[in-house]
A and B are shown apart, each in its own frame.
Chain A
Amino acid sequence: MTEPATKRRIGVFICHCGGNISDVVDIEALRRSAATHDDVALATDSRFMCSNEGQGQLQKEIREKGLDGVVVACCTPKMYEDLFREKAEEAGMNPYLLEIANIREQCSYAHRHEPAKATAKAKLIVKAQVEKVRKLRPLEVKTAPIQPGVAVIGGGIAGIHASILLANLGHKVTLIEKSPTIGGNMARSVKTFPTDDCAMCTLSPKMNEAYNHRNIELLTYAEVRDAARSPGKWTLTVEKKPRYVTDACIGCDRCTERCPVSTAKSPIQVDSEWDQGLAKRKAIYIPFSQALPQLWTIDADHCFYFQRNRACRVCQMVCPAKAIDFTMKPETLTVDVGAVIVATGYKEYDPTPLAHLGYGRHPDILTQMQFARMMDAVGPTHGEIVRRSDGNPADTIVMVQCVGSRGAPGDPNVHEYCSRVCCMVAVKHAQLIKKARPETEVYILYNDLRAYGKGFEEYYARSMELGVKYVRGLPGKVHPHRGKLLVDVDDMLTGRRLGLPADLVVLSAALEPNPIDGLLASLHLDKTADGFVKEYHAKINPTETAVKGVFVAGCAQGPKDITDTISQAGAAAMSAAVFLGSGEMTLNPVVAEVDPALCRACDRCTEVCGFDAVHVDPERLIAIVDETACTGCGKCAVVCPTDAIAVRQFTKPQIVASIDALAPMAVAP
């Protein structure tokens, strides 16, 4: 790999970063030191390189001085490397001849109290990047076709909204949902805050639109088993579980009525996941009446036919439409798409580990989702707010906030993050109760009531006018006492210790990620410390991921309310559309390259490559790199005995140049 020895004209641009750098690093000394390096034609500085004025200065100097290499000494390349490269390209310089010298995060910030050492180190960092730029060669960006079509994993509000937007744009969408119906947690929430809309009234039009959309193929009761990545394409292997109910089903519900499972003396009992365990369900069921697709499903794990070797066929016998078919088999189908949106949502935290709250030890201690199911007119109690222990109406209800949220780091039983929505869920349920049955006493025991969104404060204030009582303090113990549940809490605002006798205690449980580790592994996705999908950048890019073509939306990325979920679903759909839009994929030029003169076709590189992006051409006996698959990780370069293969911009001479520049031996002047 011979390096160009011709004379270079490199420009060094040093950013003050408005004091973040200049307060610690002596900019003038750094500028003078940069000016002395070989091939440096210009060393200048600017208060804000990332500002329009700074970028303008960069472009002016490139044009006027005919620069063929640039080092911008500023913040981490993660912030503006792409921006500066884009600006350099507009000014006519090859963008890949521009390098960032990170003298903020890795110098001025890290050595704030040692300005002299920080300045000396900044000089070395700039020198290292100049030495590297001197050895860089221009690269041009090539493109490759992208497979059309998007797969949206997760049929909650996030998945539905993203699918509709992409389908309306003309993209072919495959919406994959694990449970028998789309709708997700929103469909179970009865009402939404702060508008008090009925959740289904706002959701079912979208569900129908997605269900009937000609561009959306709906795969329900289906799970993604694997995802294989190839250049510009994802191949998803989806396993569609059999419903054992054909499309002939007319929805008469006779099968569910007669199914013996979960009846009083039946040995097989199963809790309804839909009603969050508040009620039981039969083996053949439909989660809720407006479920889409409108198909009943047989849960083979809890069905006498499957579990007690064909002991019962009641549903088949009573079915007027002969829609029951026990012989249905799981189908495995592959879906080729260009982009994938992960919208797998959340599940509610199980408060059992918090033993002092008594969840799981008393029927009248519920979570907010269970309480929502109780308020649902079609729910297990037909909308009546009653004590599960004896069915009497609940006169006093005590809600407890931060259950499983805002816990200690490293405690496996709780989450450290705040789940954002539980305060408003509690306020919603509380004021709904007060409107339905004003004489009910409703307490909300909170730590910080977070009503931060649009219309939230007004909603919170209205609940107070309706007589909801707010106690600032979380309870010490909840235990049965004379037929009621005594909630022992000290109210910080009044300094009074209250023993609240409650008919129902509703725990605002945290939102935690759904278990999708297998999916994440196959998509090469990481998780953040809280267990949610790791977004590309928490602040400025929350809907893309580190993997090209894979996007994330909704609670899969972290707890949020429906408003934010819709925004994220829109953003993820837009990012996916932009990615697919051009129909072709711009290839990352910083990938491996083989020098045919040095390659001995020894196959060492093909053995270590994790993306099978390099193969030896049998005739020419030279290793060939598939630039659409190569990710530029550089493992091949290390094992190549003749240095024939290397990743552009990270060749051995270029890296050695950086080491030498930073080394103590070559102390900068």
Chain B
Amino acid sequence: MACIQCNTCTSSCPVEILEPAFRIRQVIARVRLGLREDVLSDPSIWSCVRCYACVAHCPKHVRPGDVIEAIRHIALEEKREGPGPRHARAFVESVRENGRIHEAGVTFDSIGFRGLIGEGLLPLEMAWRGKSPAIRRRPLKSVREIQTLLDVVEESE
């Protein structure tokens, strides 16, 4: 990875403005030094919003966004805990069960009761306007295909 630490990525990152703890350039630097545990246990890697501005502007085509994707992949492989991994697992589980994601299910599995309470009156207002996502799951007719594919690929990896 020919990263020259020019910081264009951090300068393009919309998250870093609001949360200086997440500095993508520094994550790349830590990855290059092999600080595995340091990076994988850092909760801020789950703050990346995948906007790929860093990938668009990086002069050396290091594709920092893809590095985060890879870090998260390893974190999920190692069953790491935290809101980020929980959401990813909930999302993938929903794909497995429905073929398409069931928004209400994924949201609930991610934030749980405490999270729902945190939303305050919003869910009620959404329900009143008919904006809330469907409670009932509507899996694809061919959802078994999705499960087979997910299993097949899981094993071959």
Contacts and interface: CB of A to CB of B under 8 A. Distances in A.
Interface of A: 356, 402, 406-409, 411, 414, 447-448, 472-477, 488-490, 492, 495-497
B107 interface: no
A406 B6 contact: yes
A497 B25 contact: no
A406 B60 contact: yes
Contacts, number: 72
Given A402-B6, A408-B2, A489 B11 contact: yes
A497 B12 CA distance: 10
A492 B12 contact: no
Interface string B44-64: 000000000100111111000
A475 B13 CA distance: 10
Contacts of B10: 473, 476, 490, 492, 497
A473 B59 contact: no
A496 B7 CA distance: 12
15 contacts: A356-B56, A406-B6, A408-B2, A408-B59, A447-B7, A474-B59, A475-B11, A477-B12, A490-B25, A492-B5, A492-B25, A495-B23, A496-B20, A497-B10, A497-B11
Contact of A472 (B7, B9, B23, B59): B7
Contacts of A402: 6, 59
Nearest to A491: B7
Contact of B8 (A408, A474, A497): A474
A448 B5 CA distance: 9
B97 interface: no
B6 A411 contact: no
Interface residues of B, number: 23
B23 A490 contact: yes
Given A495-B23, A497-B16, A356 B57 contact: yes
Given A447-B4, A490-B23, A406 B12 contact: no
Q: Which among B7, B12, B61 has the greatest number of chain A C-beta atoms within 10 A?
A: B7
A407 B4 contact: no
A497 B61 CA distance: 22
B17 interface: yes
Contacts of A488: 11-12
Nearest to B25: A492
Given A356-B56, A408-B2, A447-B5, A476 B11 contact: yes
A495 B20 contact: yes
Chain A interface helix/strand/loop/mixed: loop
Given A406-B59, A476-B53, A495-B23, A356 B6 contact: no
A490 B16 contact: yes
Given A490-B23, A495-B23, A476 B57 contact: yes
A356 B11 CA distance: 11
Given A402-B6, A406-B6, A447-B5, A473 B60 contact: no
A230 to B, nearest CB: 46
A406 to B, nearest CB: 6
Contacts of A409: 2
Nearest to A407: B59
Nearest to A499: B17
Contact of B12 (A407, A447, A448, A476): A476
Contacts of B56: 356
Given A356-B12, A476-B11, A476-B53, A408 B61 contact: yes
Contact of A492 (B7, B53, B57): B7
A474 B6 contact: yes
Nearest to B14: A476
A476 B13 contact: yes
A406 B4 contact: yes
Interface string B1-42: 010111111111100110010010100000000000000000
B60 A407 contact: yes
A477 B16 CA distance: 14
B14 to A, nearest CB: 9
Nearest to B29: A492
Contact of A490 (B2, B11, B57, B58): B11
Contacts of A495: 20, 23
A472 B8 CA distance: 10
A270 to B, nearest CB: 33
A473 B23 contact: no
A408 B12 contact: no
Nearest to A447: B6
Contacts of A473: 6-8, 10-11
A359 to B, nearest CB: 14
B20 A497 contact: yes
B60 A474 contact: no
Nearest to B53: A476
Given A474-B8, A474-B11, A492-B25, 17 more contacts: A356-B56, A402-B59, A406-B6, A408-B2, A408-B59, A414-B59, A447-B4, A447-B7, A473-B7, A474-B7, A475-B8, A490-B7, A490-B10, A490-B11, A490-B25, A492-B7, A497-B10
Contacts of A496: 20
A322 B7 CA distance: 60
Nearest to B9: A476
A476 B8 contact: yes
Nearest to A477: B12
**Which 7 residue pairs spanning A and B have beta carbons closest together?**
A476-B12, A473-B7, A476-B11, A408-B61, A447-B6, A490-B10, A474-B8
A489 B13 CA distance: 10
A498 to B, nearest CB: 9
Contacts of A411: 61
Nearest to A476: B12
Interface string B134-155: 0000000000000000000000
Contacts of A406: 4, 6, 59-60
